[in-house]
Amino acid sequence: MSKNTEKVKKLLAEESFVCARCGYCDAVCPTYATDKIESLSPRGKLQAIRMGILEKEIPEKYSNRIFQCVTCGACESVCHTNIPLVKLWTELRAKMPKPDSLKQMTQMLEQKHNIANLPNEDRLRWTKRLGNVLHLKETADVLYFPGCVSSLFPASNTISQSFVQILDNAGIDFAILGADEWCCGFPQLVGGFPEDAKKQIEHNIDEINKKKTKILVTTCPACYRIFKEEYKELSDVEIKFEVMHSTQFIDKLIAEGKIKFCELKAKVTYHDPCDLGRNSGIYEPPRKIIKSIPAVEFVELPHNRDKCICCGSGGALGFTNPEMSNTISKRKYNEINETGAEILVTACQTCRKQIKAATKENKELKVMDITEFVLKAMKNG
């Protein structure tokens, strides 16, 4: 398990008895909303721990339900007894029998070091159309860590391409790891394989330190969480650099006058990614960026910030239960439509992918990562 095994055992044992069984968590849980089965709910999982489920032979049907969770943190945000539920679910998964889909996932990451199951050298494919914008430098103060999806899935390449163009236009000297970049380890962590995640994390930290990096920037909220917080529970390797999400870094560049915008007339709404918002507390930088663009009409989703509804892609749910994941996405689509927005902006490559798929019938709505939106506003004139 993690290096704090005894602490984890105590956490699982004690926190289940802290639960007041009020049901507030059930009311906001996106997976419980798809199928009102108590064992799917946060309260039901806590009750199972309280009843000693971890000391028994666990039926496969029940163990699979532990993984039917997007780890979105909505339950934790309304918990009146302040149980660290996201951490609890992650640690619980590490002790449970794993679905075959997750076993295959971690084997793939062990062999290929990316979730696309491609040669890791392919991480550089997204750079081919950038000309002289990007150079593989030996050292740089700023290092951009794109992550697996933005590097290896062609439909998401525009996120990494947009961000490096923003950096270039702002005069930022930066580097990437290229083929030396491995998956951040987050899929393995939430999948219940912390020791496998540790290998990826320690490799990446070592490679980043070699670049003498002062600031690590990522466009992926999961990568951000790993480098900002999660690595502390898994590794003793020292991080010698500041960690920022792209929204924080872009907001900083705007404040320093290094990014200038043209007018962009559009009605825009914003989706808070769970791992950036509720689980990392970053709400204002993306909103400040959007509102700083002249002529933009910004409208909030009915559920926003810590109440934002998950897109359905978190917690490796796409691996374990794609049908449930898509059902949650449809709920998100209905809420977006209520705003009448022309553009839905988010700050997560997986949210962008999931919401695009859910809203594909709406030809009037554009779904964009904030890096794409910023670059569009910079070039609009």
State which residues form the domain around 140: 102-252
Task: Identify the pLDDT of residue 3.
Answer: 46
Report how far apart, in Å, the C-alpha atoms of 42 and of each of 47, 90, 98 are.
9, 13, 19
**Containing H/E element for 367?**
strand 366-369
- Same domain, yes or no: 116 and 69: no
283 and 151 fall within a common domain: no
- Answer yes or no: do 31 and 56 share one domain: yes
Last residue of a domain, one of 211, 236, 252: 252
CATH of residue 354's domain is 3.40.50.10700
The answer to whether 308 and 301 have CB atoms below 8 angstroms apart is yes
The CA–CA distances, whole Å, from 86 to 70, 90, 189, 317, 363 equal 10, 6, 12, 14, 36
Angle between helices 42-50 and 5-18 (to 10 degrees): 110
Domain of 37, CATH number, reads 1.10.1060.10
12 and 113 in a common domain:
no
Q: CA-CA distances (angstroms) from residue 185 to 223, 295, 314?
A: 8, 40, 14
The tally of domains found in the chain comes to 3
Same domain, 191 and 115: yes
Looking at residue 379, its amino acid is K
**Residue where a domain terminates, one of 56, 79, 97:** 97
Helices (H), the chain: 5-18, 24-28, 30-34, 42-50, 60-66, 74-78, 85-95, 100-112, 148-152, 157-169, 186-191, 194-210, 221-225, 231-234, 246-255, 284-291, 317-320, 322-339, 349-358, 370-379
User: Per-residue confidence of the chain (381 residues) as pLDDT tens digits?
Assistant: 344 556 666 777 788 889 999 999 999 999 999 989 898 899 999 988 888 777 777 777 777 888 999 999 999 999 999 999 999 999 889 988 899 999 999 999 999 999 999 999 999 999 988 876 676 788 899 999 999 999 999 999 999 999 999 999 999 999 999 999 999 999 999 999 999 999 999 999 999 999 999 999 999 999 999 999 999 888 888 898 999 999 999 999 999 999 999 999 999 999 999 999 999 999 999 999 999 999 999 999 999 999 999 999 999 998 889 999 999 999 999 999 999 999 999 999 999 999 999 998 888 999 999 999 999 999 754
**Whether residue 316 is found in the same domain as residue 352:** yes
State the pLDDT at residue 7.
62
Same domain membership, residue 111 and residue 86: no
Looking at the structure, tell me whether residues 243 and 355 fall in a common domain: no
Do 234 and 118 share a structural domain?
A: yes
Cα dihedral 346/347/351/353 (nearest 10): 90
| Whether residue 241 sits in one domain with residue 170 | yes
- 240 shares a domain with 278: no
**Are 47 and 163 contained in the same domain?**
no
The pTM of this model reads 0.94
How far is 9 from 346, CA to CA, in rounded Å? 36
d(CA 164, CA 129): 12
| Per-residue pLDDT tens digits for 39-86 | 889 999 998 888 877 777 777 777 788 899 999 999 999 999 999 999
